[in-house]
Structure 1
Amino acid sequence: MRELVYYVAVSLDGRIASPTHGFESFLSEGDHAEVLTPEWGDTIPEPIHQALGLDVRRGTISTVLMGWNTYAVGLPDMPSPYSHLEQIVFSRTQGAPAGADGVRITDDDPREIVTALKQQRGGDIWLCGGGVLAAQLVDLIDRLVLKVNPFVSGDGIPLFAGQYAPTRFALERSRAFETGVVVNEYRRR
């Protein structure tokens, strides 16, 4: 069965983006990137693959889920950022922008969509962000892969933006890098 994997960069204080939904503080270069790029190549936007001449896609992920604000970070330059994947964006108010070929914008219940996706054939389902969507799906997440960056944000988009509902995960692996990034991998208990 397909797994729902929340693979995301996070600050020491649990923020996945700045208050303006930016990622400028997160480290994108260094020894952690050298290791994670080939391991998680499916999560690199297609325009970046092309610009850098990369081909590190692994085929282990076949669907990406995003909330509107996560998706909108790449607009207007990347209206179809993960064209190598099935792209589903959740929004109650927005429609597809020009050039968003292969992007499904939906206001359907994310839980119902994930439950259906898990029953289908294919690679894993990557929850790209954001925090509100992650909170709605927390009890359906099979694995958490957190790239913990060595800074405190102070404010911004939380890893999970929902009501208090403790959910346990078991640490499977932790790797520290010279950049100060620590990658923690958890599985649902």
Structure 2
Amino acid sequence: MRQLVYYVAVSLDGRIASPTGDFEAFSVHGDHIDMIVNEWSDTIPKVGLDALGITADNSRFDTVLMGWNTYAAGLSATDNPYPHLDQYVFSRCRTNNDVPGGITITDRNPEDVVRDLKAAGGGDIWLCGGGILASSLVNEIDRLVLKVNPVILGAGKPLFEAGTYDPRTFELTASTPYHSGVVVNEYARRVEGTATA
């Protein structure tokens, strides 16, 4: 069954962007970038794929979900960031008239959308961000892949927005440090009733 994977860069203090929504504190150089290019090319926007002269193979994902603010953060580069994926942007005030073809704007309950996508089958679903959307999908996230950057932002957009949801437990399944200082931690949702190692 396809899974919802929250794959995102994060600071040591749990921020996925600065207070203004930019990602400039996260390094785009180093050996962790080679890993992204080789193993996670589906998550590279078209402008990056074109600059690198590569194509995404959709081996990880065929769908991406993001909130409007996450989508809007890249508008200076392109209005269609991931044409190789089915793109869903969640917004209560925007419509499909605000985006190019190939992107679906929806104001539906994110959990309902994800359940429908999971039931439809296909490749895994990438939760691109942001923290508000992640919080609304906390019950549907199957895996976390966190690219932990060696920086403290002090303020900014959190990995998960504060909420009233029950605690969720994940198991660490892999942790890979890179010379750049980035550590990629992978977690799987712990199934209730199973013991951790």
Indicate the residue corresponding to 1:27 in structure 2.
27
In structure 2, relative to structure 1, the CA distance for the partners of 1:175 and 1:29 (3 Å cut) is same
Indicate the residue corresponding to 2:193 in structure 1.
none
The answer to whether the Cα contact below 8 Å between 1:79 and 1:98 also exists between their aligned partners in 2 is no
Indicate the residue corresponding to 1:115 in structure 2.
115
**Aligned-residue offset at 1:163:** 1.2
CA distance in 1, matches of 2:45, 2:154: 28
The answer to whether the Cα contact below 8 Å between 1:11 and 1:151 also exists between their aligned partners in 2 is yes
In structure 2, relative to structure 1, the CA distance for the partners of 1:138 and 1:99 (3 Å cut) is closer
State which drifts further: 68-77 or 56-65.
56-65
Indicate the residue corresponding to 1:36 in structure 2.
36
**Aligned-residue offset at 1:56:** 4.4
Indicate the residue corresponding to 2:84 in structure 1.
84
**Aligned-residue offset at 1:115:** 0.4
Q: What amino acid does structure 2 have at the position aligned with 1:169?
A: F
Partner of 2:137, secondary structure, is helix
What pairs up with 1:88-167 in 2 under 5 angstroms?
A: 88-96=88-96, 100-164=100-164, 165-167=166-168
* Structure 1: gaps (5+ residues): none
The answer to whether the Cα contact below 8 Å between 2:56 and 2:84 also exists between their aligned partners in 1 is no
Between the two proteins, what is the percent identity of the paired residues? 56
In structure 2, relative to structure 1, the CA distance for the partners of 1:6 and 1:98 (3 Å cut) is same
Ranges of 4+ aligned residues in structure 1 off by more than 4 Å: 96-99
* Structure 2: gaps (5+ residues): 191-197
CA distance in 2, matches of 1:79, 1:98: 10
Indicate the residue corresponding to 2:178 in structure 1.
177
**Aligned-residue offset at 1:97:** 6.2
Deviations 1:100-152, CA, capped at 9 Å, x for gaps: 22011111110000001001121000000000000000111000000000000
**Aligned-residue offset at 1:59:** 2.8
The answer to whether the Cα contact below 8 Å between 1:17 and 1:157 also exists between their aligned partners in 2 is yes
TM norm structure 2: 0.91
Question: How many matched pairs?
Answer: 189
Q: What amino acid does structure 2 have at the position aligned with 1:181?
A: V
**Aligned-residue offset at 1:60:** 2.4
The answer to whether the Cα contact below 8 Å between 1:174 and 1:182 also exists between their aligned partners in 2 is yes
Q: What amino acid does structure 2 have at the position aligned with 1:91?
A: S
CA distance in 1, matches of 2:87, 2:5: 15
**Aligned-residue offset at 1:76:** 4.2
The answer to whether the Cα contact below 8 Å between 1:110 and 1:136 also exists between their aligned partners in 2 is yes
RMSD, aligned CA: 1.4
**Aligned-residue offset at 1:162:** 2.9
Partner of 2:101, secondary structure, is coil
